[in-house]
Structure formats: structure tokens, C-alpha cells
Amino acid sequence: MKSRAYVSSVGLVPVGDHWEKSIVDLAVEAARGALKGSGKRKPDQIIVGNMFSAVGAKQEQLGALVASALGLAGTPAYKVEAACSSGGTAFNVAYNLVRSGAIDSALVIGVEKMRDLEPEEISGALAMAESAEYTQFVGASFAALNGLLARYYMEQLNVTRDELSAIPVIDHANAVTAAHAQFRKAITPEVVGRSAMIADPLRLFDCAPVGDGAAAALIVNDSAASGSKRRMAEVLGGRVATNEFSIFEREDMLDFKSSREAFKGAMSQAGLVQKRLSLIEIHDAFSVVGALSLEAMGFSKRGQGSKDAKAGKYARGGELPINTFGGLKARGHPVGGTGMYQIAEAYLQLTDQAGKNQVEGAEYAATQNIGGVDTTSAVHVFGRAA
Amino acid sequence: MAIQYWRRRDRYYRLVGSRCKDCGDEFFPPVYKCKGCGSEHVADKEMPRTGRIVTYTQLHEPLPGFEAQAPLYLAVVKLDNGARVLTQIVDSPDDSVRTGAKVEATVRRMRVDGESGQIIYGYKFVVRS
Amino acid sequence: MHLMQSKNRAAILGYGAYVPYYRLPTTEIARVWKGGGSGPNVEKAVAAADEDTVTMAIEAARQAMKMAGTESVGAVFVGTESKPYAVKPTSTIVAQALGQHHTLAADLEFACKAGTEAMQVITGLVGSGMIEAGIAIGMDTAQGRPGDDLEYTAASGGAAYVIGRKDRSAVALIDCSTSYVSDTGDFWRRAHERYPRHLSRFTGEPAYFHHIESSVKTLFEETGHKPSDFKYAVFHQPNPRFPVEVATRLGFTMEQIKTGLLNPMIGNTYAGSSPIGLAAVLDEARPGDKILMASFGSGAGSDAFCIEVLEGITRTRGVNPTVKSMLERSTKIDYSTYSKFRDKLQK
């Protein structure tokens, strides 16, 4: 018994250094935002997307913990983990449950507490997304893998430093007016190109920052949606895909297969062609990852992702606006939370609640959330609810 | 920590990877199933110890346990049999660490578990001009 | 008779040397601790932060195995005074890296002569027929206390020898050797101490010279050999001066010792010192050449060897990097980098 699925409300915690808030505080704050106005009706299911609460907060069993904190003990609840794509993947589980008819509604929360750790501990936690035996073992951080990828991209496809800087520049421009963004300051390509070296050739401004955050959404089916006065966005399609685990094992490191397959799957489920999309929230944890994502999903030709960004194609007002609230670089990247921020942002756009960041007349929006270096991808496609 | 790495010591010291008994493809890290032909008839095999750099980076912010080695070079190396290894590059002048450079495997300390814990050894590569 | 000669003839089947990439000019040490000048040697070889006796022994041993074309050995002995573990053998890690499991494995300690002692023991095991071949390694990452005179010379490096039954492809015959020891405390390191100590000039006359002269003279007396019988001679080299002095006293010329005299460029590699000197000689020797090697270990003792180069040496050219090439492939570092590498700043 297949059902339609809708996002009926969202909650967002501004991304940043939340010294006073624990992982549960963050999750509860986002969840309350999403539950506000839902009255006495409780979600049938709670799913928490999170990457490293065990390391970052010495806490597991987040599902039950958050449910209990929300006064919803008794509700089925668990955590879904897929590194940085934990949020998007958690949403995908909820979407499939609702769509299949198994449940009427679910509360999905993406949350990460990063700032309780020292910077090198955060690097260590993020590295856990990659092979303990062959990546962490040799001392390769997550940034290092992306540095390897960036050099390969630039050398093989003749991409310049300036071109690589284009996506971070777009992110920062979009974040200026985004209330929940971590860095609301515009930057120039020169700022990116002169920032501190992290993993040559990647510099500080090529890399998403560290931050705490949580975002939540309530996903409902027709019956739960009926009678609601809320503005809704319909979930038209969603797919999770995976690639060969480590980039160095892949025949072509520059082919983001999981993003390609997830996007293709979600779009075909939605019955949409690419050009119908009004915007896309992409997973640019590093500038090069943003460029390769755009190429994998077919918006740019091979080697053209950064070049197209530099030419204005992906700016607000361009052919296909990306990262309309700042993306991972400027809105911020609380890793397990990121996928849910993207979904909340797509919802805001399709329900005309994006304020100064509104993409006028947005009809369809997509979100692409990656774990690892394109190792897991969760793509969802949304439309205005009829 | 030590046990997790002990288990893999032949892979770390001798670059023991896999060879597909059906199609002859070779892999490092070892595989459960041949990525070429899908066969599950794979056996351990020592990899060649030389290859070329496919891409590299110099990491300025090392992972915990690698602080003393910073800044460190990491590279994807394509071995002479086609297998691809992620590795540190050591003992090589900055201008020699380049895409296409010939490299050779060596064994080095990977990390040390504090003052009293065990020393973990494994492969790193050196540029051979 | 004090001469040690195996009934079955044992020979070097392959060898490999290892000198780390980094060199610390002794002017750097003098600059930091003495306000200028230099040490007795020009530079010393310094192991990188991620190197130790295990890693260097593996490198040398791998080369030696490759040259010997040996698939398996019955003994892996590592002579060293810088074991990474106080308790846990260096030799088992080396054996694992060489893929050797059905083998004796042990670490030998006799200050600077543990490497040559390993060679004698394996010669005996091969000579008795107990094993077909074994590998003897002399390797150290020698450390001197910062500011101590030993810091000028204490260096890293060494060599490995696969010794097996003499056959047509053998590189050099280990014809015979002698050993001479006494209780002489010229240099020592107590348990749990980080750096060794030495008794000023005591290390010369009653220690180095007395023991080497005794072992070499015994060798001469019992074999009838004289210095002119040898094309090359290698003496333990704690500094550039001692080996020259002992060579002169024993009747050898500069011409005979210069090929194996590496101290000026790499320093004192302790248990690696005589073995790596021998490797430098073998890199250039020809069939029929005789080589005298005499090690010295504090505590104290000396092993003297009579080695004869065989036809097999000709097939070894180009198989492994030469000692000379390792001296060339190097880069200079300053005292601060050296401190970082060798943990000198640690209390």
C-alpha cells in the first residue's frame, strides 16, 4: 500500500559552537521546532541521524534517549549511521517506511556534537568514516583523502586554483542572509586561495568548518497530512547508493558513482528531468567534492563543475542555484546533522519560507548528502505540495 | 590497538594482497571477491614493491598519533601490477614527490602506543629517481 | 688453538646495507653545545622519526635475502644495542617481515660487536649442518646524550648477511675467525637509562686497542696470515682516528682500510659499524681478494675474521644499492630537526 509522503514541518538549530548545549539539548531543540503545532498527534517513529556520538559525546542509543527526552518514550526510535550522510540516510529510512505504508509519520533528527572534542580528536573521529586498516592506519585524515582527490582533479582535468575557489565563494555569498548559517560573511576567491594550507592543494576555505548542530523534519503520509493547515513539501523521490569504499581502490577516483546513482534513482522515482529542478543543496564538504558532485549528477560536464560555478551557473539567480543557505562551507557541516539541514532548507524554499534566501518560484528541489568521499550518498527530491 | 594491527602484519610488513585465481587480477588491500571478474577464488599474494605516484598531498594537520611526523606526505601509489595503495611517502625531497614519480616500499613505524605500549610497523614508500 | 673454523665451509651468500637518509653535520652539534667547531667526523647518519633498529634491519635483511636468492633461513639474529623493546625480540619482527617462521630468532647484545658475533654464530650453525642458511644483522640507532662527546659520532645504520653453505654462487667465504673478550667497563648503559656512559680515555688503550690487537694477532698467529695477504681491512670505527691507529699498529696501510672506513661520513653505527664497513668493501672487491674484519664491542671484546671473496661476487653487481649510493642519497638536517627525529627534547 504505497502512500505519498510529505515534509510537514522542520526545526533548525543555528550551526556553530554550542558550548552550553549537549547533544541531547541540540536534538530536542530541533525536534521541538519540527513538532511545533502538530498537536497531540505523536510521530509513529523517531529516527536519529548521527555519525559519531560515541566519540563526540560518549553516548549511544540516541534514538531512545531523544525519544525519552521529548516525552515520547514508547515510540520506536533508533539511530542511523552513514558517516556524514547519516542525516540524509536517516531521512531515507523514514521516507521508505512512510511511503510503504508501514507507518503514517516519522520524526527525523540529524544531530552532531563536535565541539566537545579537541580539533585533532575531531580529525580522528571524522577519519573513522574511512578504513581503519588502510586509511587511518597510514595516517590519512579525511582532509588528506580530499587533498589527494583535489590534486588529481586539478592535474587530470586542468582545473585552476581560482576555479576551485568558486563553490566556497557561492556558499559564503548565500550564507550572508541565512539566519542558521555558521559563517555569514562573503569572501573572494583570493581569500580561499590564500588561506592556510590543510592538505595540499586544499586550503582552509576549501574545507567545511567544524560546528555543532541539529535539524529535524516531520515526514507524514496522506492520512496524517489531511486536515493539516501547514505548508508542506512533497517528497517525490529518495535513494541511497554506495560506491567502492575507498577512493584509492576505485578505477576512476573522479567518478562519484554513488552520487550519480542516488541522484538518478531519486529523480526517476520523482519522474522528473534535471532541468525541472529549481535548486539543489549539494554536499560540498570540500570544494572539490562539490565540483565532482555537480559533475556526477550531470549538471556539469566532466572537469567543468568548478568552471561552471565560476561562470555563475550555480549562483543565486544562476541557471541552477546551489546551497541556497550557504551549503556545507558556510551554513556549516555538523556532520550527522548536515543531511537534515539540507532537507529543511529544501522545505523552506518550497514553502516560501526562505526569506531573503528565497529562490523565486521554486517548484522542485533536490538534496545530496554524502558520507565518506562519495562512499554513501543519499539524494532526495522534493516538490511543492499540491 | 595492537591486536587490530597485529592481525594484518603480513599485509603491513610484506604488502600481502590478493590474486584472483580465475582472472589473475591482483589487489591491495586484499579483497574477498575479485573486482575484475567477480570470482571468490582469491588467494594471498605478495605485491610488487615498486610503483608510481598517482596523486599526492602534504598533510599539515595530522591525525592523533601522527603528530611527530607532520607535515607528512600521503599518496595514492599504483603498484607495478596495477594494485593501488594509499601510503605515506618518506625520505624524499619535496621536489621529488610528484605525480608519476617512481616509488619503492619500505617498512617504518606507523605509530607508537604511548611510552609503554606497542610499536606498530607498516609500509611506507620512498621516491626512487 | 683459538681459531674458529667451520667443518662445512660457510660463506656469505648475500648482503645488504642500510644507511638512513638524513645526515647531521657535526658542526651543528658543536654549534649548539660547544659554541662552534666540529666533531671528529664530518657528519653522522640519523634515522628518521619513524625508523628504528627493526625497520632498518628489515631493509638490510630484505636486500641480503634478495641477493642470496634465498627463500628461507634457519636463523635470524639481530645484533644491536638499540632494541626498540627492552623485552620483545627485534628478530621476530624482522623474521615476520621476511616471511620466515621456522627459524631461530634472537637479539644479540654486545655493544658494538653484536653484529659480528651474530655472523660467527650463524657460521657455526651452518658449519655444523644444523641450518642451511641464516641471516646475521648488525644494526643500531645509537644515541649519545645531548652535549656528550658521544653525540658527535653516535649514528644509525648497519648491514645484514645471509650466511649459508658455500656454493658456486657464494659471494665470500668466511674462512675463519677469532674472538677475544675480557671484563673491561669502558662504555655501558644501565637498565632503564636512556643514554650510555663512557670512561673518558679508557675507551682507547685498555679497551679498543687491546681487544682488537689481541683478536687480530691471534688470527695471524694461528693462520700464518700477515697484513700484506689482505687486499682490504675493516676495523670497528667509533671515530675516524681509532681504526687508522689500530691498522697502523697491526701493519696495515691506509690503502687497505680506506674503502671500508665510513666513520667520517656516517659516524659510529655501533653494532652496524664493522658489518657496514665490510659491505662497502664487498661492493668493490674482486674474486680472490682477502678481507680482514675486526670488530670491537665495549665490555669488552673483538671478533676478527678472515674472509675470502669468491666468484659469486660478480653476479651481485647492481642487485642492491651500494653503500656508496646510500652515502650519496642523503640530505643534511639541522640540530632542531635531529632533535625532533630522535626525541632529544624529551626529558
| A117 DSSP 8-state letter | S
Q: Has residue C347 got a pLDDT over 70?
A: no
**Angstrom distances, CA of residue A290 to CA of A208, A256, B72, C248:** 11, 11, 26, 72
pLDDT for C1:
87
- How far apart are alpha carbons C324 and C305 in whole angstroms? 23
**Angstrom distances, CA of residue A245 to CA of A52, A150, A250, C85, C184:** 19, 18, 8, 36, 61
Distance (Å) from the alpha carbon of A9 to chain B's nearest alpha carbon:
39
Asked, colleague to colleague, whether A5-117+211-233 and A137-207+236-384 share their fold, the answer is yes
ipTM of the complex: 0.97
> Domain locations in chain C?
10-170+328-342, 172-315
In chain A, the percentage of residues whose pLDDT exceeds 70 is: 100
CATH number (domain holding residue B63): 2.40.50.840
- How far apart are alpha carbons C252 and C227 in whole angstroms? 6
Distance (Å) from the alpha carbon of B102 to chain A's nearest alpha carbon:
17
Q: Which of A127, A200, A249 sits opposite B58 (nearest CB)?
A: A200
Question: CATH number of C10-170+328-342: 3.90.120.10, 3.20.19.10, 3.40.640.10, 3.40.47.10?
Answer: 3.40.47.10
Positions of C annotated as catalytic residues are 81, 112, 236
- How far apart are alpha carbons A60 and A88 in whole angstroms? 19
**Angstrom distances, CA of residue C301 to CA of A194, A231, C72, C113, C117:** 61, 91, 31, 7, 10
CA B25 to chain CA centroid, nearest Å = 18
- Helices A287-296 and A142-157, interaxial angle, to 10°? 60
Q: Supply A218's cell numbers.
A: 516531520
Nearest to A198, CA basis, from A154, A141, A153, A157: A141
Neighbour-count burial of A138, counting CB atoms closer than 10 A to its CB (0-12 exposed, 13-18 middle, 19+ buried): buried
Residue of B108, B110, B118, B128 for testing the chain C interface, max C β-carbons within 10 Å: B108
Q: What is the tens place of the pLDDT at every residue in A42-63? A: 999 999 999 999 999 999 999 9
Sign of the CA dihedral running C223, C229, C231, C232: positive
| C148 DSSP 8-state letter | S
Q: Is A252 on the interface with B (CB under 8 A)?
A: no
- How far apart are alpha carbons A46 and A64 in whole angstroms? 9
Q: What is the tens place of the pLDDT at every residue in A21-34? A: 999 999 999 999 99
Q: What is the tens place of the pLDDT at every residue in B15-60? A: 999 999 999 999 999 999 999 999 999 999 999 999 999 999 999 9
> Domain locations in chain A?
5-117+211-233, 137-207+236-384
Distance (Å) from the alpha carbon of C339 to chain B's nearest alpha carbon:
11
Q: Has residue B107 got a pLDDT over 60?
A: yes
| C272 DSSP 8-state letter | G
Q: What is the tens place of the pLDDT at every residue in C99-125? A: 999 999 999 999 999 999 999 999 999
**Angstrom distances, CA of residue B129 to CA of B97, C28, C56:** 10, 29, 21
Total domains in the fold of chain B: 1
Q: Is A155 on the interface with B (CB under 8 A)?
A: yes
pLDDT for A226:
79
- All chains having 3 or more CB pairs closer than 8 angstroms to chain A: B
Confidence of residue B114 (pLDDT cuts 50, 70, 90): confident
Contacts of B126 in chain C (CB under 8 A): 21
**Closest CA in chain B for residue C86:** B116
Question: CATH number of C172-315: 3.40.50.920, 3.40.225.10, 1.10.390.10, 3.40.47.10?
Answer: 3.40.47.10
Domain A137-207+236-384, CATH homologous superfamily name and number: Thiolase/Chalcone synthase (3.40.47.10)
> With a CB-CB cutoff of 8 Å, which residues 12-31 of chain C face chain B?
20-22
Is A199's CB within 8 Å of B59's CB? Answer: yes
Contacts of B77 (CB under 8 A, 6+ apart): B51, B52, B53, B54, B84, B85, B86, B87, B103, B125
- Contact between C107 and C121 (Cβ < 8 Å): no
Residues of B with CB under 8 A from a CB of A: 4-5, 8, 11-12, 27, 29, 35, 54-67, 69, 72, 74-76, 84-88, 99, 110-111, 122-124
- Contact between C267 and C41 (Cβ < 8 Å): yes
Q: Is A147 on the interface with B (CB under 8 A)?
A: yes
Q: What is the tens place of the pLDDT at every residue in A346-379? A: 999 999 999 999 999 999 999 999 999 999 999 9
**Strand partners of residue C14:** C162
Q: What is the 3-state secondary structure (H, E, C) of B57-74?
A: EEECCCCCCCHHHCCEEE
Architecture of the domain made up of A5-117+211-233: 3-Layer(aba) Sandwich (3.40)
Q: For A147, how many CA atoms within 13 A lie in the half-sphere containing its CB?
A: 26
Range of the domain at B68: 2-127
Q: Which of B13, B93, B109 sits opposite C50 (nearest CB)?
A: B109
Q: Which of B14, B68, B121 sits opposite C49 (nearest CB)?
A: B68
Q: Is C202 on the interface with B (CB under 8 A)?
A: no
Q: Is A269 on the interface with B (CB under 8 A)?
A: no
